[in-house]
Structure 1
Amino acid sequence: MRFPATLAAPLNVIPMAAIERTTSMLFQRVTTQHPHLFARLGEHIEKRFAFMPTDIPLVFVVSPAQPSIHVARRLPVPPTADASVEGPLFMLLALLEGRCDADALFFSRDLTVNGDMEAMLAMRNALDDCDIDLPRDLSALAGPLAPIVGRVAESIRRRALTEEASRWN
């Protein structure tokens, strides 16, 4: 499932400060919920990892050593990173949660990986060990609306994964 273009278009005009602040808040929540997220990176902890969705005009660069995330608008010149992965947003989120086979996606060319492959493999292994569940981990940020937000996010994830799975088979 691709991120709908009508929802992606406003990302071109929303101020980057607002996008970066929101993304940093979500990133901080995930790293708080999973404090050992980057523990398995070992010698790759100082590397920078770019996650480049193909269906939204943004790029996310994670620096695990801090830990921090930087967001930029997608430009013809990719951001400075030691390793990068490119693919549809929902696929990248499924990888974050360990819900799909990264190797199969790479070999089927649904994902493009560039740069330090050993570092990206270490990142994949780190993510696989963390049991990240974005609807569960992030819905708490919605306060009293957390149950509703969690159910909506779970429904979106289920639909996105079902559509991707049927396309892969």
Structure 2
Amino acid sequence: MLLPRPLSRAIDHVPLGVVQRVVDAVFHRALQQHPDLFDRLGSQAEKSFRFTPADLDLSFVIHPARRTIRAYRKDKAPPVSSAVSGPMLMLLALLEGRIDGDAVFFSRSLTVTGDMEAMLALRNGLDDCGFDLPADLSGLAGPFAQPFRRVGELVRQRALVGIV
């Protein structure tokens, strides 16, 4: 399931600096909630990973050893050790462990390139984390945390209908 076109166009027009600030806040929160996120990577933590939503003009590069993430426009994204591309909602569902990565890879809904050993190590680490994006990110909403979480859960539930 792709993001609705009006939403993806709107996101694509957000200045990259604003996208980066949001991504930094979300990534920092994820590391607070899951401090062991990259522990299982071992030597693979020195590698770089790119996640490219097929329905957005964005790419995100993560350097686990440095605990950094950087947003790029697709055509400006640097070379990395390993890369994944697929619809944004599918990438988020994979992050949360709500869909089978092998199944979407073999159905060709997801493209993985580069160092497969590194990507497998990252996937195994993510599987152990137990991400729940609405719960994990609701703290960013301050006093609106509970309504934010409920809305996030409803959006996720509706989005997963087209994926699983």
Q: TM-score range by the shorter chain?
A: over 0.9
CA apart distance, 1:43 = 1.2
Secondary structure of 2:23 counterpart: helix
CA apart distance, 1:8 = 1.3
The match for 1:74 is 74
Partners in 2 of 1:41 and 1:17 — Cα distance? 29
**Equivalent runs, 1:76-91 vs 2, <5 Å:** 79-91=78-90
The match for 1:21 is 21
Matched, 1:143 2:142: yes
CA apart distance, 1:10 = 2.3
Secondary structure of 1:164 counterpart: coil
**Equivalent runs, 1:1-169 vs 2, <5 Å:** 1-75=1-75, 79-165=78-164
CA apart distance, 1:11 = 2.8
Partners in 2 of 1:88 and 1:151 — Cα distance? 23
Deviations 1:96-134 (A, max 9, x none): 111111011111111000000000000000000001100
- Whichever residue aligns with residue 104 of structure 2, its letter is L
Count of residue pairs the alignment pairs up: 164
- Whichever residue aligns with residue 10 of structure 2, its letter is P
Instruction: State the superposition RMSD in angstroms.
Output: 1.1
Deviations 1:28-63 (A, max 9, x none): 000110000000001100000000100111100011
TM-score (norm 1): 0.94
Greater helix fraction, Structure 1 or Structure 2: 2
In the alignment, structure 2 segments of 5+ residues that lack a partner are none
- Whichever residue aligns with residue 22 of structure 1, its letter is V
Deviations 1:111-163 (A, max 9, x none): 00000000000000000000110000001110111111111111111111122
